[in-house]
Chain A
Amino acid sequence: MNCNEFRECVCEIVDKRLSDERTNELMQHAQVCSHCNFEYRSMQAMKNIVHEKLKQQSVPAEVYYSIVNATLHRSHSSWVKKLFGFQLNPVIAIIAFAFITVGVYSFVIPSNGGMTEETNIIVQSLKNYQAVIGGSIKPQLVSSEDNVRSFLANEVSFDVNVPKMKGCSSCAGALSSFNGVQLAHVVYQVGNKDIIYIYQASMNEAMEGTIIGLPEEVKTELQKTDWYVQDLEENVTLILWRYNNTLCSAVSKMDKEEMIALLTEKELK
């Protein structure tokens, strides 16, 4: 064994590509050669520092959407054009692929009636919001608020809330069921990048049902004021409110005050 042989293999030791036998053989040399030992430790340190300091980054939602949108627009046959006779606005298309099966999180659930992550509306709202942002959820319909409302209203027994929102550049909707409980999902894109996701279910199911539910303190607050606001992780805000016989649970990363202002506008009530 000489230093050249060791140095030729040092990265393979660090990257664990060699057999134990070969690694031991090489490391025996490093134990008696301070230069090769230094080389081994420095290579290991480089691998560690790059791995630890330069974490993998997630693709930002707006980048993901813009890519899907850009390739979709190069698709020679637009389904929107075929169906409605007009081309989908690029901004609307940005969230067209935002939903991939809303309710993926909701479909597979235990039904023990207890309050678990899967049955907790707040947790599910946040997870669905993250799935929208992460691009793993696709819409069933991207259209005007009126069309989204009609689509959802035809399928669920509670009053669907799809208000016209100031600054909204696109609106999308989807339906799912959770152990037989109907759920409606609405997503707005506000301006260029803010996204608001609204989970909707029957108020009765949310407050008294056993399949989905809310923590007791949240129920109490809703009963008192019809509103509940909570700061979730990483500047994400959750707002719950009653709309007729419907519980709405909105999640967004937009400025909290701005979000509250949008959701409390006269026409939303």
Chain B
Amino acid sequence: MLPIFAAVFQQDPRHKEFEQQTLPHIEVLYNYALRMTGNREDANDLLQETFLKAYRFWDKFEQGTNLRAWLFRIMKNTYINLYRKEVKEPDKVDYDEIEGFYNLIRDQNSDDNNLQEKIFGQLLDDDVSKALESLPEEFRTVVILCDIEGLAYEEIAEFLQIPVGTVRSRLHRGRKLLYAALYEYAKRRGFIKKEKND
């Protein structure tokens, strides 16, 4: 390479370090943003805002600690600040009520070994996406991180700064809520006979 172009490459070392370390995590953050916001435009804004904040506070990041967890926490806080203020949270889910509904499905279908395939095999990607978006944030987050991003409970616990046992129980509840939501979609689409639970 010509010397002049070597000179061109002398990038700000702080920026270079930031870029080298943070950009490998961009995919996981983008996917989280996409599932939390439910649309690409907001996900793009959230991702950009997260990286800008991370860059601003790069000096505060303690090298050797979990960078992905640090970035994730910035994104989560940014999401809360940006979207909780602007978008009124959907009506709080009455978990007990939904669990009751799940138990009802279970009681009426526990002998049907093919139920899951019948219900869920035919659902559209969009149905699953919308059902996931309908979950309260605390449950949605663990389902996204575990089932889409494939993270271990311990890493999710570190991201969210909660005990591993809480990750496990949120995941259990989140999957039950998702089940109930998808069951409703399946019923609406006629994959399940309405009279069965009506």
Contact = CB atoms under 8 A, between A and B. Distances in A.
A209 B48 CA distance: 46
A42 B51 contact: no
Interface string A33-60: 0110111011111110111011011111
Interface stretch (A20-28, A73-81, A163-171, A234-242): A73-81
Given A11-B172, A34-B110, A67-B47, A42 B129 contact: no
Interface string A208-238: 0000000000000000000000000000000
Contacts of A97: 19
A35 B27 CA distance: 39
B116 A47 contact: no
A9 to B, nearest CB: 8
Interface string A149-179: 0010011000000000000000000010000
Given A53-B123, A67-B48, A83-B7, 14 more contacts: A11-B168, A11-B175, A15-B171, A42-B106, A43-B175, A44-B116, A45-B179, A50-B178, A53-B129, A56-B27, A63-B48, A70-B51, A71-B52, A151-B2
B110 A38 contact: yes
Interface of B: 1-2, 5, 7-12, 14-15, 18-19, 23, 26-27, 30-31, 34-35, 40, 44, 47-48, 51-52, 55-56, 102, 106-107, 109-111, 113, 115-116, 120, 123-125, 128-129, 132, 143, 146-149, 153, 168, 171-172, 175-176, 178-179, 182
A7 interface: yes
Given A15-B146, A34-B111, A38-B106, A49 B51 contact: no
A37 to B, nearest CB: 7
Nearest to B4: A83
Main SS class of interface, B = helix
A79 B175 contact: no
Contacts of B40: 60
A74 B5 contact: no
Contacts, number: 140
A135 B48 CA distance: 15
A68 interface: yes
22 contacts: A11-B168, A15-B171, A35-B110, A38-B106, A42-B102, A42-B176, A43-B172, A49-B123, A49-B128, A54-B129, A54-B132, A54-B148, A56-B27, A64-B26, A67-B51, A68-B23, A71-B51, A71-B55, A72-B15, A75-B14, A79-B8, A79-B11
A71 B15 contact: yes
A35 B106 contact: yes
B30 A79 contact: no
A68 B12 CA distance: 13
Nearest to A44: B116
A196 B107 CA distance: 59
A68 B2 CA distance: 25
A56 B176 CA distance: 22
Given A54-B148, A79-B10, A155-B2, A41 B116 contact: yes
